Every structure is written in structure tokens, then in C-alpha cells.
């Protein structure tokens, strides 16, 4: 019997059906059939019999009407074109590019081995290519840096190998591939599952993970070249590095050069925000500090003199190699070699350095790297890779002469005195606690040298020890217990004191300031009824408070409102 229900079939009905239509599979749950790109118009038997094994040398290729004879040489040519196209199209997503290249290389090995037919190799390569793009659109293959990037569209040019197959005259071999997953289509499938009560309950309710923080706060330099790119032989200015390769600051040698010439996190922050497009918000001073702090913590494992490293104390570390202040060369600089895969990044096209750049460096901020990127932008047909082809390209266009205005000290001076650094609080000289957080600056108490104070300052409080004990930090206020008449009260807090508690409960409440005063003052002073202007919190409540009674001999039964004429008459009677 055949099932011809108009709506979608459940899994149980599909397993019971002796005959399944291929068109019916297209309307089933997408996630259960996402990795089935080929829909063969055949009748599925409930108990298929295994086909007899055929030796590899005698395998028969399926016949395709109107398709020219396909050879191994044709497949190799298509694979070469696909590798070149993928390297140009998906250079910004390196992990996707690497997996695509592995797929193409595996098919090249199959063509050389000739253990499988050319049609079989072609179709399996197209199938694997589609599966990779489906995985990318669903979960980005676990790549956090591209969570917010758009999906790969169902376009022929988006598939390097399929595009090569079509352009070489074999379009019929890939016509039966179904479209890849798209986020909008995924939303429609979810709606259909809620409307169909026969769908699986596991699919009705998508898995809910942990509540994560805003992703816009992370990876604000998305699209910038990877940090593990090797340095070529040449001269780079600091503004060029901030504009085209900002993550190069993670190199140990780059940090030595940066700090030795007077650089600070604030100046580098201003450069990045000036030159680059920041779709997730401008980078902060602390973010730049953490970019350098991470590699320096690894450097601490190699050399103990970098323990508790900060930008401010870098030049005070003993035993550092001298840095030439008149050199801006990056020749021989080491890469940070960080991340899960500590290896050197693959070369990238030089023109891709312009991705994410809002404005190119000009004047004395620009040098050879800027000219190289501009040349590649003006000649898109030429392929120049970084860093392998960088030196040859500079020899072609001619290196520029390095002047004093190109040096790091001059660049830092320009960006420190201009409005680019406005709004960025300079942290040079400020101390950090054990967690790397900036501490507040000490107040200038030496303005009145003749005035002596016995109060303890906030600098005497060990916040690191309190964090290790797990205790909460308390607010310590300077309060004076000695008051003279005519002296104005001193403000102890910038906030307005609360006049009434938030809730009226029966539980006994203690004020922080009252508890602090109890250690210094006696109980008689605390229970005093004097209203001192220096004391702003509520006074200590007595356990048995006496009721205030009137001293009148007779009880008043009338209103207290008295007419003025009656008061005047009483005063005249007393005068008489």
C-alpha cells in the first residue's frame, strides 16, 4: 500500500512505508536530511539486497545523457581552478579555507591513484564541498570570530569546485544538488515543526544553552590579518601597523620596540580607532593592554624578569636588549605563536590588508606598507602575497626613504598632542592590582603641607589580600570626631545621603558608618541627643526608649489653633 497524506510524514510512517517518493523527502525535517545533497529518483525497497562487489579496475561509470566524456585530467583542472578561487574568496575565514583545500587535495590524490572513476571523484568532491558550507551556515564550524558574519549564499560563484565544473562543460553532474542551509529557511522549518503536532518533540524545542554576554564586546578587530603572520624584511611605521595589521602588537619584539620608544596603550588605541572601521564599537585602552599582556605572560614562563609586566614598568626591567630609536625595521621579528594551533599563518593577498580600513595612512604616517596595499588595490589582476611576495613588490615600486618624522617617537608625539587621544584616559604610571585592573589615582593631599591628618588613606588597604580571602570590599570614609562651632561640615561622599530606609522591617538594622564609629566612640557619645553636622547616619536606637510626656498639669482637649486676638487679650491681662 502507498501513503499519500498531503502533510509531512513522521519518521515512524516513513519507516513503515514500502515506497518513499524523493519529492516527499524534500519536505521532511531539514536537519535530518541536511547532509543528503543528492536525491536519486529511485524506488527504495524496504529490504535492499547488497550489490555484488566489483573490482576497482572494472567499475562502470554511470551514464549521463548529453555529458561529454570525463577524464581524470578534466577533474584535475577543475580542482586547480577551485583551489585558486577558494584562496581568493575565503581568505578571511582561514579555517574554512583550510578544510576546503584538504577536500580538494584529497580528490587530487584520488585522481592520481585512479582507484575510483572520474565521475565518482567529481561528485564526491562536490558533495563534500556542499557539506562544508552547510556546516558553516549552521554553526560556523565553531569559529567564534565569524558568529555574526552572513551565511554563504546559494550562488554558483560561492562554490569554487561546482563553479569550475559548470564552466568546464559538465553542469548536469551537479544539477541534482539541493540548496544549502540558510538562516531564513531554518526559521521557516522551525515554524512548521510547531504547527505539526506529529513532529518529534526534540525538534520542537531548540536546545537552550547558557546565557552568554554580548558578543559585540569581543573580537572587535574581526577581519584584521591574523597575529601569527610572519614579518617580512622591511620598514613599518606604528600608524601603518595600527591601520593594516593591528594584532602585530602581540609580537614580543614589537612590544619591545613599542615600549622602548615611549608608546602607551592610549596612543595605540587612538590610532586603531582612527584608521579602522569598528562595527562592534571602538576598541578600549584596556583591550589594547590585554593584547600585549597575554603574550607577555607567556614570555614570563621563559624569562622570570617579565613577571608582573605592565607597559609602564617595561623600560625599567633590567637586562633588556637595547632598541634603536631610529629604526622602524621589522626584519627578524618573532610572531606571537599563540592560540589553539601555534603555527605560522598562511600567506594572504596584500590587497586584503585594506579590509576593514576606514582611511589609509598619509603623510609621515605612511611608508612602504601603505604604498604596497595601494598598488595591489589599483592592480586587482596581479596576485601579490604577504609576506612571501612583499620584498619583490617593494623592489618593483621602489622603497621609500625613512625620515625622522617616520620614527616611533615622532608618531607618538603627533598622536599624543592631537585630538585623536582626547577621551582616552592615559594609564601610564597608574598601578594595577593582581587581576590587571587599574587602581584609582592617589589624591593630591600635599596641597596643604601644614595640615596633618591621622586618617588612613585608601592606599593602605590591601585589595589583593581581600580578594584572596573572598571578602567583600567595604567603603571606608574619613570622618572626624572633633568639631568646632562655626566650622563647615566636610563632605564624605559625592552621593546624596538617603533620608529614609528602603523598607520598614522589624529586623534590627545597623548602619556601616555607625558600626565604624562604634569602634572609636563610646556608647555615651553615640547615644547622645546632640545633632552634630558631621554625623549623617541614623543614631543608635536604644532598646527601651522612653515616651516623651508633656509637663502640663491639665490635659488639653481643644485644638492648638489660637486666634491672634485672643493671644493679645491674654498678654494685656498679664500686664495689668
Distance CA(389)–CA(367), nearest Å, equals: 17
pLDDT reported for residue 550: 63
C-alpha torsion angle, residues 460, 463, 466, 467 (rounded to 10): -170
Place of cell 565518482: 120
pLDDT category of residue 552 using cuts at 50, 70 and 90 = low
Does position 32 have pLDDT exceeding 50, yes or no? no
pTM: 0.41
Does position 284 have pLDDT exceeding 70, yes or no? yes
Question: How is the chain split into domains, by residue range?
Answer: 1-6+16-44+66-206, 238-421
Proportion of the chain above pLDDT 90, given as a percent: 19
pLDDT reported for residue 557: 58
Q: How many CB atoms lie within 10 A of CB 422?
A: 7
Distance CA(129)–CA(96), nearest Å, equals: 11
Does position 184 have pLDDT exceeding 90, yes or no? no
**Cell numbers that stand for 360 in this block:** 589609509
Question: For residue 322, which of 263, 275, 231, 261 has the smallest C-alpha distance?
Answer: 261
Pairing of strands 385-386, 348-349: antiparallel
Q: Read off the pLDDT of residues 160-180 as tens digits, 9 standing for 90 and up.
A: 998 888 888 888 888 778 777
pLDDT reported for residue 551: 65
More confident residue, 481 or 541: 541
Does position 224 have pLDDT exceeding 90, yes or no? no
Distance CA(328)–CA(237), nearest Å, equals: 6
pLDDT reported for residue 315: 81
Phi, psi (rounded to 5 degrees) for 328? -120, 25
Question: CB-based burial of residue 103 (10 Å sphere; 0-12 exposed, 13-18 middle, 19+ buried)?
Answer: buried
pLDDT category of residue 142 using cuts at 50, 70 and 90 = low
Q: Which pairs count as long-range contacts for 293-301, CB under 8 Å and 24+ apart, including other chains?
A: 293/436, 294/250, 294/338, 295/250, 295/251, 295/252, 295/255, 295/336, 295/338, 296/252, 296/255, 298/338, 299/252
Supply the mean pLDDT for the chain.
68
pLDDT reported for residue 141: 66
Q: Read off the pLDDT of residues 316-352 as tens digits, 9 standing for 90 and up.
A: 888 788 889 899 999 999 888 654 456 678 899 999 9
Summarize the confidence of residues 450-476 as an average pLDDT.
45
Does position 189 have pLDDT exceeding 50, yes or no? no
User: Which of 16-25, 394-403, 412-421, 541-550 has the highest mean predicted lDDT (pLDDT)?
Assistant: 394-403
Does position 30 have pLDDT exceeding 70, yes or no? no
pLDDT reported for residue 307: 85
Mean pLDDT is lowest, of 138-142, 146-150, 439-443, for: 439-443
Distance CA(576)–CA(566), nearest Å, equals: 16
Q: Read off the pLDDT of residues 492-543 as tens digits, 9 standing for 90 and up.
A: 444 454 444 444 444 454 444 444 444 444 444 444 444 445 555 555 555 5
Q: Read off the pLDDT of residues 351-379 as tens digits, 9 standing for 90 and up.
A: 999 998 999 999 999 999 999 999 999 99
pLDDT reported for residue 426: 46
Q: Read off the pLDDT of residues 49-102 as tens digits, 9 standing for 90 and up.
A: 555 544 443 344 444 444 568 899 999 999 999 998 888 888 777 778 888 989
pLDDT reported for residue 296: 86
More confident residue, 82 or 26: 82
pLDDT reported for residue 60: 40
Distance CA(532)–CA(494), nearest Å, equals: 20
Proportion of the chain above pLDDT 70, given as a percent: 51
> How many alpha carbons fall within 13 Å on the CB side of residue 457?
9
Summarize the confidence of residues 550-565 as an average pLDDT.
59
pLDDT reported for residue 500: 46
Distance CA(558)–CA(418), nearest Å, equals: 77
Does position 148 have pLDDT exceeding 50, yes or no? yes
Summarize the confidence of residues 124-145 as an average pLDDT.
78
Does position 249 have pLDDT exceeding 70, yes or no? yes
Amino acid at each position: 500500500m502507498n501513503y499519500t497524506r498531503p502533510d509531512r510524514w513522521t519518521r515512524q510512517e516513513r519507516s513503515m512505508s514500502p515506497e518513499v517518493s524523493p519529492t516527499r523527502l524534500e519536505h521532511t525535517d531539514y536537519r535530518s536530511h541536511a547532509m543528503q545533497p543528492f536525491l536519486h529518483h529511485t524506488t527504495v525497497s524496504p529490504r535492499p539486497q547488497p550489490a555484488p562487489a566489483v573490482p576497482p579496475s572494472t567499475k562502470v561509470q554511470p551514464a549521463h545523457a548529453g555529458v561529454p566524456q570525463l577524464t581524470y585530467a578534466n577533474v584535475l583542472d577543475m580542482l586547480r581552478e577551485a583551489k585558486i578561487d577558494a584562496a581568493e574568496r575565503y581568505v578571511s575565514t582561514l579555517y574554512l579555507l583550510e578544510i576546503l583545500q584538504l577536500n580538494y587535495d584529497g580528490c587530487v590524490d584520488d585522481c592520481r591513484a585512479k582507484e575510483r572513476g572520474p565521475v565518482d571523484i567529481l561528485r564526491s568532491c562536490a558533495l563534500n564541498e556542499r557539506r562544508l558550507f552547510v556546516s558553516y551556515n549552521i554553526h560556523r564550524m565553531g569559529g567564534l570570530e565569524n558568529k555574526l558574519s552572513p551565511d554563504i549564499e546559494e550562488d554558483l560563484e560561492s562554490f569554487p569546485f561546482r563553479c569550475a565544473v559548470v564552466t568546464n562543460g559538465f553542469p548536469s553532474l551537479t544539477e541534482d544538488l539541493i540548496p544549502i542551509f540558510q538562516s531564513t529557511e531554518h526559521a521557516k522549518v522551525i515554524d512548521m515543526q510547531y504547527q505539526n503536532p506529529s513532529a518529534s518533540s526534540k525538534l520542537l524545542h531548540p536546545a537552550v544553552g547558557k546565557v552568554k554576554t554580548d558578543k559585540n564586546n569581543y573580537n572587535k578587530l574581526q577581519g584584521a590579518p591574523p597575529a601569527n603572520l610572519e614579518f617580512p624584511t622591511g620598514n613599518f611605521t606604528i600608524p601603518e601597523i595600527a591601520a593594516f595589521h593591528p594584532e602585530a602588537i602581540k609580537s614580543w619584539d614589537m612590544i619591545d620596540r613599542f615600549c622602548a620608544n615611549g608608546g602607551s596603550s592610549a596612543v595605540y588605541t587612538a590610532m586603531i580607532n582612527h584608521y579602522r572601521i569598528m562595527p562592534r564599537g571602538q576598541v578600549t585602552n584596556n583591550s589594547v593592554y590585554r593584547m600585549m599582556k597575554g603574550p607577555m605572560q607567556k614570555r614570563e614562563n621563559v624569562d622570570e624578569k617579565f613577571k608582573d609586566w605592565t607597559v609602564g614598568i617595561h623600560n625599567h626591567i633590567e637586562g633588556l636588549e637595547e632598541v634603536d630609536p631610529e629604526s622602524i625595521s621589522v626584519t627578524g621579528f618573532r610572531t606571537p605563536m599563540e592560540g589553539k594551533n601555534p603555527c605560522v599563518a598562511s600567506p594572504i593577498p596584500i590587497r586584503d590588508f585594506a579590509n576593514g580600513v576606514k582611511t589609509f595612512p598619509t603623510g609621515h604616517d605612511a611608508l612602504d606598507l601603505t604604498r604596497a596595499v595601494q598598488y595591489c588595490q589599483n592592480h586587482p589582476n596581479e596576485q601579490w602575497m604577504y609576506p612571501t611576495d612583499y620584498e619583490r613588490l617593494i623592489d618593483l615600486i621602489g622603497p621609500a626613504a625613512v625620515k625622522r618624522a617616520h620614527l616611533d617617537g615622532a608618531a607618538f608625539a603627533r598622536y599624543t598632542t592631537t585630538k585623536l587621544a582626547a577621551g582616552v584616559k592615559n594609564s601610564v604610571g597608574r598601578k594595577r592590582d593582581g587581576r590587571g585592573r587599574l587602581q584609582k589615582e592617589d589624591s593630591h593631599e600635599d596641597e596643604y603641607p601644614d595640615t596633618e591628618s591621622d586618617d588612613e588613606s585608601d592606599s593602605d588597604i590591601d585589595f589583593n589580600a581581600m580578594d584572596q580571602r573572598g571578602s567583600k570590599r567595604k567603603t571606608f570614609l574619613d570622618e572626624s570626631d572633633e568639631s568646632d562651632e562655626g566650622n563647615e561640615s566636610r563632605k564624605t561622599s559625592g552621593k546624596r545621603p538617603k533620608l529614609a530606609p528602603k523598607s520598614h522591617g522589624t529586623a534590627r538594622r545597623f548602619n556601616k558608618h555607625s558600626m565604624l564609629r562604634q569602634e572609636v566612640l563610646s556608647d555615651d557619645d553615640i547615644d547622645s541627643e546632640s545633632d552634630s553636622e558631621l554625623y549623617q547616619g541614623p543614631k543608635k536606637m536604644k532598646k527601651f526608649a522612653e515616651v516623651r510626656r508633656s509637663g502640663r498639669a491639665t490635659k488639653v482637649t481643644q485644638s492648638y489653633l489660637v486666634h491672634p486676638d485672643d493671644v493679645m487679650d491674654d498678654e494685656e491681662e498679664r500686664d495689668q
